[in-house]
Chain A
């Protein structure tokens, strides 16, 4: 079977992703009114923990039933956001919008927890490498293959866009067409000028934070990271789009790996 040390390395990578996502959540200060919309970081954090638990037999996380509920909710949440993106920006957003990869990630996690037989006792996944000489397999392997193909596609696309410097490594302003002056985007902003009013936040919430089509990821990400002119460089980097897209690349590739080796 696939050596346990490979699974452990990937589990460690997922823990790093979880740590980065947690760091982004803290740095973004989502508890401040109207400051930020953090659903993808929450999703990354939860997925990374769940994947680490699946990969490493020594890690015990939540019971399977809890993960089922969590990923069902995340899938529904991102499905709604993708539909809203599509209604605002056209059907292209169904596949290439900012939230579409997160929807696929969430759905793939839900599938894995549903399709992988839970160990006796049901106290969480015992780890892919924990079942002795036999690798656990997934029911409905066709679905696993389809998910893996889509995840690989998104991973390759994200890597291309990341290396094309579409996603910045530092906060930027986000000038909008039709707006006379550049308006600082608000994610994680520290100063009052960067804090959205309640109506603005409502608009954002209504549109799912942003409208996004494939090409809009850059916009979304720019806005995502634009902010903390008053913050430290490290905080700015942590909150940059490049970091969150890097996390998405790592998770997508690892998830595809997990799906393939459990076919």
Chain B
């Protein structure tokens, strides 16, 4: 029902509304906003899991396919899981989808944010192994363009960095440092982006037609405008795999080191990180193949953007404004 109101007219409304704006700004701090971004991606992820494709044999075959090329100790549980899913497809896929939806809603619901973030870490680690074959890290299939080192592991990383607690000691120079401290947060960032740079230079990815084949392979089933973008990007790197890989790797190394530089330079490298992540999302991942149907998640692009925002320098304050749950716990 909409509002009915009141004496005082427009001026009175404005007075009250101005007050509300200020108080709301104080209640929703940057970390809470980023948590909500993570919640939205989890919810999207969960809803995608309800698509018709996930209730077909194609899903279990996709799971089993991630075992290929992995060491036996990694591959056997993946195959076991794929067989289990094949035999109980409707039940297990519905459970998978519901868990992901609940994680998203749980992060958004203030009283359950800690439980949901903890569950998301456990779930993400499980999916990284059983659903993504460790992101292709061990079988040479990983590429920054296809979501290496596995989109789902970035969910876990974000949950750790956005954990609703404040690390004791000096005030945090960026949001990701609040939970784990600046040194650990920077080290995690460095490892992630340097690993992406490494994957960009693996033999399969630096082959003359490597990036071209990967981008062109995303074209099937896409709407016309996206197909045109993908075809254009593929032709741009056709036969230029080595040069494209080196250029991408250089950009990724600059991004990796950026968080150790002065804040003004850090901001520039974070903008570069966001741009690279968006280019990867559009050109390399085709929006996670969502528009073609059958995507299990939006892939790594939006997660990398969210991660970059976690490292955006903020004014260090002794007591940062906290979002709180209804019970007064920090979010």
Give residues in A with beta carbon < 8 Å to B.
1-3, 6, 24-25, 28, 34-41, 88-89, 98-99, 135, 137, 140-142, 145, 148-149, 152-153, 155-157, 159-160, 162-165, 174-179, 183, 185-188, 196, 200-201, 203-204, 207-216, 218-221, 223-224, 239, 244, 253, 256-257, 260-261, 263
Contacts and interface: CB of A to CB of B under 8 A. Distances in A.
A155 B41 CA distance: 12
Nearest to B37: A156
A25 B1 CA distance: 8
B110 A164 contact: yes
B17 A211 contact: yes
A37 B110 contact: no
A260 B17 CA distance: 36
Given A177-B16, A261-B52, A218 B24 contact: yes
Contacts of B50: 2, 6, 257, 260-261
B223 A141 contact: yes
B233 interface: no
B20 A186 contact: no
A177 B16 CA distance: 5
Contacts of A24: 1
Contact of A155 (B21, B28, B43, B94): B43
Given A183-B6, A223-B3, A224-B3, A260 B47 contact: yes
Contact of B6 (A89, A160, A186, A218): A186
Contacts of B7: 179, 183, 200
B281 to A, nearest CB: 13
Contacts of A175: 16
Nearest to B91: A3
Given A153-B40, A210-B5, 8 more contacts: A141-B293, A152-B47, A160-B110, A175-B16, A178-B12, A219-B16, A260-B50, A261-B50
B4 A186 contact: yes
A260 B1 contact: no
Nearest to A137: B293
A208 B13 CA distance: 12
A214 B43 CA distance: 22
Nearest to A36: B4
B5 to A, nearest CB: 5
Nearest to A214: B24
A178 B1 contact: no
A261 B10 CA distance: 44
B262 interface: no
A132 B18 CA distance: 54
Contacts of A142: 223, 225-226, 291
A38 B1 contact: yes
A163 B104 contact: no
B287 interface: yes
Contacts of A28: 1
Nearest to B48: A260
A165 B8 contact: no
Contacts of A215: 17, 20-21, 23-25
Contacts of B17: 89, 211-213, 215-216, 219
Interface centre among B4, B108, B325 (most CB of A within 10 A): B4
A164 B1 contact: no
A35 B3 CA distance: 10
B128 interface: no
B251 interface: no
Nearest to A143: B223
B173 interface: no
B100 to A, nearest CB: 12
Nearest to A206: B10
B20 A219 contact: yes
Interface string B280-315: 000000010011010000000000000000000000
A248 B4 CA distance: 19
B4 A196 contact: yes
Closest 5 CB pairs of A and B: A177-B15, A210-B3, A215-B24, A209-B2, A163-B110
27 contacts: A2-B55, A36-B1, A89-B17, A135-B52, A140-B223, A141-B293, A145-B291, A149-B40, A155-B43, A157-B36, A159-B105, A160-B28, A160-B32, A164-B325, A175-B16, A179-B12, A185-B3, A196-B5, A200-B7, A211-B17, A213-B21, A215-B21, A215-B24, A219-B17, A253-B43, A253-B105, A263-B291
